[in-house]
Structure 1
Amino acid sequence: MDNQMLAVSWDELFVGGGASAVNLVIHATLLAVIVRVVAALRHYRMLGPSVIQRTVVIYVAGLLLVMAHYLEVRVWAKTYEWVAAAPPDTPLVYFAFSNYTTLGYGDIIPVPAWRLLGPITALNGILLIGWSTALIYAVLRGTDDAKTAGPLSTEAAQEIKKDVKEAEEEVEREFKKT
């Protein structure tokens, strides 16, 4: 087999690995926030009947996950822009979404020097979507635990508020970098 066929662009791996690492930090941070928020919502008894409480918990978790994935797609779009990975006038958010979700219509082809970024984006997307799926499963499973959980202490509520604020600040800093 020709050595050129086996050649890998270190630039692509470095840039793709960097964008993936940023997205892993974003996702881990938001998952930690979601776990804390869901725990707080589960213990908050003023939400009414358990169906309403479960709906609120699932909705909040889902909304935060969608926001996380959108932010991660934006990181990829900014990465594509930074290295000029797509032809001029390419809608980069669309291109990033297509790769991140592994949909890949094939209507946009990356420039040859950056052709590995698409598969790296897809691998990152699969991992993070799978991670989100696992969290949704845990949230759905955990809604039954709310019946047996005790009330949330004032100290725990203050810690959750602090963690949420810190996570929001971290996400805002990361978003400003992109």
Structure 2
Amino acid sequence: MLRNLAVGFPVMLVCLLLQAVFVAVCLRYYVRFKHARQERTSLGQEIMLLSVVMVLTLLGNFVQMGIWAILFMLLGEFADFATALYHSGVNFATLGYGDIVMSPRWRLLGPLEAANGILMFGVSSSVMTAAVLEVIKHNLASLGENTEP
């Protein structure tokens, strides 16, 4: 069990740092976009902005699944990357299919990855929610400006 924790926690830390990078990139992109567009933004611009935020956060999650898959291969659990990535995706998304399992020696890494994944999806959801709320706030402010005498 300690071996699993000693191997899993550093990978979780790398994933947390990577997610922080993706969140920072999303927020910088968002702030720069909003700063450059002080006037009313079009529906297309808002859709593009939210899409970029969603794609970047999703990309961050996919990269993390790949990191876990590489770890599984380095540990000798899977012979090919596709199987390791599939297993990683099932763990990361907390699906728990159980159609592919790891050896008893490294089995605890699955729940560690699941804990990592559920946290990262939560972070991704909060970033997307913040972006959506900001768009709503901006649109409400624009409506208020248009209705004032």
TM-score of the aligned structures, taking structure 2 as reference length? 0.85
Query: Which position in structure 2 is the counterpart of 1:36?
Result: 28
CA gap 1:42/1:144 in 2 versus in 1, 3 angstroms: farther
Shift of 1:45: 2.8
Shift of 1:87: 4.9
Count of aligned residue pairs for this structure pair: 140
Alignment RMSD (CA, Å): 2.2
CA contact (8 A) 1:43 1:146 kept: no
Residue number among 104, 110, 135 corresponding to 1:143 in the alignment: 135
Query: Which position in structure 2 is the counterpart of 1:50?
Result: 42
Query: Which position in structure 2 is the counterpart of 1:5?
Result: none
CA gap 1:111/1:60 in 2 versus in 1, 3 angstroms: same
The list of structure 1 runs, each at least 4 consecutive aligned residues, that deviate by more than 6 angstroms after superposition, is none
Q: List gaps (5 residues or longer) in structure 2.
A: 142-149
Does the alignment pair 1:95 with 2:105? no
CA gap 1:25/1:80 in 2 versus in 1, 3 angstroms: same
CA gap 1:87/1:71 in 2 versus in 1, 3 angstroms: closer
CA contact (8 A) 1:58 1:140 kept: yes
CA gap 1:87/1:52 in 2 versus in 1, 3 angstroms: closer
Q: List gaps (5 residues or longer) in structure 1.
A: 1-8, 149-178
